[in-house]
Amino acid sequence: MKAPAGQRSQTPEPRLKRPYSPRKRFQITVLPVYAAFNLEFIGRPRETIRGFGAGLEVDLQIFDFLWIRAQGSHTVHPVEDQFVQENEDEPSIQVARAGMITGSNAGLSLVYAMDLGRFVPLIDAGLGTLFITTPEGIQDGQMGGACRSDGSCDMGLTCGSDDVCRMGVVPEAHLGLGLDVLIRQRLSVGAQVRYHALLRDPAVFPIYLTGAVRLALRF
């Protein structure tokens, strides 16, 4: 008989509860973001334009393995002045200003979360909007400049009623892959990549790609 006179032992019982749980109903995730544009902007060669920013995601569990997610992000991409020279005897002409190209995204996704205990792989797909701004323009079609003769503007811009190019709304579809690692009952860390495609021209690849570190608080 353990303990004197059959009394309960004073030795603490072993901890049976795991320090983490794969189940949750609500999650807020903060994301430091690396991003890359690959679009043809007026006056600039089509090339990868790298940048950085931040994002926020809010997840709500609707079934065991299915969540709905509202997400947003903002990234900035430094660019340099661009010049062209038609021939060696003529001076260079500036065709685009230095500054920042920015990309702001907001959207909704369905997320499939595979429950592997402490590790939770994530697949998300959804629709949203992409807002793009470019440095102040110096030729038609660029930011703040007159619309082109056919009424068009630079990527992400729209021609206003006053015939001036301003920021527009670009519908997009996105697909992401991620992994969360549960380190505490309410805390997880991880990583993800997400690709954004333009709905009006989904076959053009690549367009806008983001990679992020995930820091999540679970409820």
Domain-located, residue 46:
yes
Residue 57 lies in a domain: yes
The whole domain housing 212 covers 24-72+91-218
Give the max Cα distance, the chain: 107
In a domain, 84, yes or no: no
Q: What is the pLDDT along the chain (219 residues), one digit of tens a residue?
A: 555 655 665 655 555 455 555 556 899 999 999 999 999 999 999 999 999 999 999 999 998 889 999 999 999 999 999 999 877 778 889 999 999 999 999 999 999 998 777 899 999 999 999 999 999 999 999 999 999 999 999 999 999 999 999 999 999 999 999 999 999 888 999 999 999 999 987 777 778 999 999 999 988
Phi/psi at 144 (5° precision) = 80, -5
**CA dist., res. 84 & res. 93, Å (int):** 5
Domain contains 112: yes
- CA angle 114/121/16 to nearest 5° reads 70
Q: Count how many domains the chain has.
A: 1
- Is 178 part of a structural domain of the chain? yes
Q: Is residue 64 part of a domain?
A: yes
> Does residue 97 contact residue 57 with C-beta atoms inside 8 Å?
no
Cβ 96 vs Cβ 42: under 8 Å: yes
- The answer to the question of residue 14 being in a domain is no
User: Do the beta carbons of residue 206 and residue 178 sit within 8 Å?
Assistant: no
111-132 pLDDT, tens digit per residue, is 999 877 789 999 999 999 999 9
- Tell me the chain's radius of gyration from C-alpha atoms: 25
pTM above 0.75, yes or no: yes
Answer whether residue 17 is part of any domain: no
The CATH number of residue 128's host domain is 2.40.160.20
**172 and 126 in contact (C-beta within 8 Å)?**
no
Minimal CA–CA distance to 219: which of 191, 187, 189?
187
